[in-house]
Amino acid sequence: MSDPRLPATFENPGLPPHVHRAADTDPRAAKRAERQVASLFTLSILSTIGFVVSYFAVKSDTEAFIPFIGTTNLLNVLLGVFLALALLGIGFGAVHWAKTLMPDEEVVEERHPIRSDDETRAKAVGLLEAGAESAQLNRRPLLKATAGTALGLFALPLGVQLAGSLGNPTKALDELKSTIWDVKDGKPIRLVRDVERTPIKAADVSIGAVFHVLPETIKESHHVLEDKAKAAVLLMRLHPNDFAADDLGKKAKSWGYEGIVAYSKICTHVGCPVGLYEQQTHHLLCPCHQSTFDVTRDCEVIFGPAKRPLPQLKITVDAEGYLVAPQGFAEPVGPSYWERKK
């Protein structure tokens, strides 16, 4: 069937014949292209002037309405648009110049194998060997061993300095376990509202309400953000019948006060604040990775990537009716770490 005279595969036919552009053959087209390129460069020049004028002439707080964009800062828009036109004028001008007036006949450049020829390789190997030989590398094992060791070790001081001075990790395990809820002098710590820092009366917490809470000790804190990052608490009041009837529900209720319960706000997954409370379902949702905790069952994880429930803060009221925490958290708050159970 197949013709034995035909080659097994097609041959590369070589470069196709070159087709001239209008500007190559028609001087008027070339002149037109030149005018177009010059106009683009002129646009750039004018826009640069526009930028400088806007920079000095436009007040920085002027608002302007831009269709499809909305109300926005006029100075930013003018500076940006003029800068853009100044740059685009140059860009389009240069590219249009290249496409219409510069030579468009393709050039062929030969490739050569990347590898060096054998002679060059042999020469390089020879030089290396001769160098090692003249340095007496192999004849003096003592030098070889000591130089190798010295080179292997020289980065150590820098590494020690860096690792040793970045931060003191020895405090890590103690600090990760403790919060400023920990009672020092046996005196229960009042719960205060986040932001206002006022104490909360149990009577002020109506069913369905949720409070962002900090310990009163935050007022004396010298490291407010660091302490807050561990001590933030969410306080909710449920109807006592809303708690599950199982052990988890009973524990949650008993650590609370008349249906008011307090839980660490720091997610046990990677530490985002668990800020979303679904009042109807009594679920707490972390907005970062959607771990969902069931408040009626001691904040057990019912969905999402977290494994552990949010730690509960045991609360009660003091003589004046204010909510207090008689003890700190019973376990470390926040994300897991290797020694969490130790």
Partner 1 sequence: MSTASSARAADLRAGDPKSSAPASASAKKAGAVASWVDERTGIAKGASFMLKKVFPDHWSFMLGEVAMYSMIICLLTGVFLSLWFIPSAGQIPYEGSYLPLKGITMSEAYSSTLGISFDVRGGLLIRQIHHWAALMFVVSLSVHMFRVFFTGAFRKPREINWVIGTMLSMLALIEGFAGYSLPDDLLSGTGLRAAEGFIRSVPIVGSYVSYMMFGGAFPGEAIIPRLYAVHVLLLPAVLIGLFTAHIILVMVHKHTQYSGPGRTNENVVGFPLMPVYTAKAGGFFFLVFGLLSLISALVTINPIWAYGPYDPSPVTAGSQPDWYMGFADGALRLLPGWLEFELFGFTLSLNVFLGAVLLIPVMYTITGAYPFLERWITGDNREHHILDRPRNVPTRTALGVAAITSYLVLMFAAGNDIIAIRLQMSINDITRAFQVLFFVAPILTFWVSRRICLSLQRHDRDKVLHGRESGTLVRTPDGQYYEVHEELNEFDRWKLVGFESPAPLALPSGKDANGVASKDAKKELRRAKWSKFFFTSRVEPVTPAELAAAHHHGEHEAIETPAGAGAHAIKQAKHD
CB atoms < 10 A from the CB of 310, how many? Answer: 28
Within 8 A by CB and 6+ apart from 313, the residues are 181, 233, 255, 262, 263, 264, 325, 328, 329
Nearer to partner 1, 88 or 207 (CB): 88
Q: Between helices 74-100 and 27-57, what is the axis angle to 10°?
A: 160
- The string over 2-14, giving b where at least 16 C-beta atoms fall within 10 Å of a residue's C-beta and e elsewhere, is eeeeeeeeeeeee
For residue 181, the minimal CB distance to partner 1 (Å) is 14
For residue 213, the minimal CB distance to partner 1 (Å) is 9
Which two tokens mark 146?
């000591």
Cβ–Cβ under 8 Å, residues 325 and 202: no
Nearer to partner 1, 154 or 338 (CB): 338
Cβ–Cβ under 8 Å, residues 310 and 160: no
3-state SS class at 273:
strand
- Give the distance from CA 300 to its chain's centroid: 28
For residue 72, the minimal CB distance to partner 1 (Å) is 7
Phi, psi (rounded to 5 degrees) for 231: -95, -5
Nearer to partner 1, 4 or 152 (CB): 4
Nearer to partner 1, 174 or 320 (CB): 174
For residue 229, the minimal CB distance to partner 1 (Å) is 4
For residue 21, the minimal CB distance to partner 1 (Å) is 13
For residue 233, the minimal CB distance to partner 1 (Å) is 9
Sort strands 312-313 and 316-317 into parallel, antiparallel or unpaired.
unpaired
Nearer to partner 1, 7 or 27 (CB): 7
Nearer to partner 1, 168 or 241 (CB): 168
